[in-house]
Structure 1
């Protein structure tokens, strides 16, 4: 751990959803763990490999040849949609978003749009104007298509965007799109030495004088240098 101050000027922010703005790990582990056992996969291994990926991509990778992948996906989607068990906002997320003022921001998630909006409403977080969901791209994370679309919809060059992510697939997608990444969590799961934050109370936001759509972001505490 380096005793260095992480600070960068940005033109906008993009967030992943699960594990980044909303904590839904309990629900995800229950649903995916049950499905893994059903299809003869190791639950822990499947969950670890699936973190940050779309349901259809998980099914495509792990569904046995003797099962209907469309039916399996529909069953998983239904289980995710029917429960908000254990779903809560990441600490400090609501106050952090409120502090952004006019700074452009959006969400790029591997979840379906309807499920994303339901979870955001359930935890009291706003639904942004720019929301790129699973059905909006042909290829999910780690493909950069979602983050590239997010940048296009915000109207901001990728190099001026900061992405908040927690999963290796999402980190790889954002980096491939040419964006800087800040990891939400105790450590960088990609092993790239990215800066990390435990919760949003660590992040300072200072809007640039005369530039309501640009800001300087800094971590209040020691973090690995990005």
Structure 2
């Protein structure tokens, strides 16, 4: 890979995969098992990795037990949940050059792979998940880790996000950040598209 190459780093949930309602249901179920308010827990979970969510909403609970329950609920969702890829996601990912794109997610890789298999999306060589880094978004660490593995200059990386925490992470990593699939752009987004399909030609042009 030359230093002149451009790369694309994708968030997953809300960006490529329409799994928002699935995640909401999983976190509400998890919260219910702990006697917590589902909406409040989900609001925290949107911004942090699971281990950080547990610490914030259930500081007295055993993190290992919290994670085991979440894993069980998510595994069940992968097997039985109804969800899909956003329009144009498959065509976009298949059109990208091998080795020039990655997934950067706060979820866990095996669940992402399960969802991608069910929706027919290709999985790239590089997936940076919650277990890959010590700090999650909005820290720049996940995106910088993806760039490191790809051998990419952060300044030549384009981040595709939907969430404010991901936008902050990408900008803090010194990358270009575009947002998709939301009514308005999150603060810090340098371009915004109402849908992933609308952004796809511009993403391919970047690469």
Task: Give the alignment's TM-score, normalised by structure 2.
Answer: 0.87
Alignment of structure 1 residues 50-129 onto 2, 5 Å: 50-65=45-60, 67-84=61-78, 85-102=81-98, 104-129=100-125
Aligned residues: 202
Give the Cα separation in 2 of the matches to 1:178 and 1:15: 15
SS in 1 for 2:131: helix
SS in 2 for 1:216: helix
More helix by share: 2
Q: Deviations over 1:156-202 (max 9, x none)?
A: 11111100111122111111111111112223463335422233321
Alignment of structure 1 residues 132-147 onto 2, 5 Å: 132-147=128-143
5+ residue gaps, structure 1, are 1-8, 208-214, 219-226
SS in 2 for 1:77: helix
SS in 1 for 2:205: strand
- Superposition RMSD in Å: 2.4
Give the Cα separation in 2 of the matches to 1:110 and 1:95: 24
5+ residue gaps, structure 2, are none
Q: Over alpha carbons, which structure has the higher Rg?
A: 1
- Counterpart of 1:47 in structure 2 is 42
Alignment of structure 1 residues 168-179 onto 2, 5 Å: 168-179=164-175
Give the Cα separation in 1 of the matches to 2:186 and 2:206: 22
Higher relative contact order, chain-length normalized (CA < 8 Å, sep 6+):
1
Q: Is contact 1:100–1:205 with CA below 8 Å preserved after alignment? A: no
- Which sits farther off after the overlay, 117-126 or 190-199? 190-199
Check 1:171–1:10 CA distance in 2 against 1; reply closer, same or farther (3 A cut).
Answer: farther
- Counterpart of 2:146 in structure 1 is 150
- Counterpart of 1:191 in structure 2 is 187
Q: Deviations over 1:75-102 (max 9, x none)?
A: 0111011223122101110111122245
SS in 1 for 2:93: helix
Deviation at 1:127, TM superposition (A): 1.0
Give the Cα separation in 1 of the matches to 2:90 and 2:67: 31
